[in-house]
Amino acid sequence: MSLSAKVRMRAEYNIKEKMRLKSGIDEKKELLKVREKEVEDLKAQLLLKEAEAAEAIRLYAEASKFEAVEKSL
C-alpha cells in the first residue's frame, strides 16, 4: 500500500471520527438543555412551595392570636 493511500485512509478515518464525536457532543448538549430546563422548573416549584409555607405559617400565627383573644374573652 502506498504512502498516499495510507495518508488518505487515515484522513478519512479522522474525518469520520470527528463527525462521530461531534454527533455525540450535540446529543450531550441537547440532554444538558433538557436538564437545565428541568432544574429551572424545579427551582420555580420550590419557590412556590416556600411561598405557600410562609403563608401557612403566617395564617397559623394569626389563628393562634385569634384563639388567644377568644380565650381571654
Count Cβ neighbours within 10 Å for each residue of 50-70 and write b for 16 or more, e otherwise. Answer: eeeeeeeeeeeeeeeeeeeee
pLDDT at 27 over 90: yes
Per-residue confidence (pLDDT) for residue 38, from 0 to 100: 99
pLDDT at 72 over 90: no
pLDDT digit string (tens) for 28-53? 999 999 999 999 999 999 999 999 99
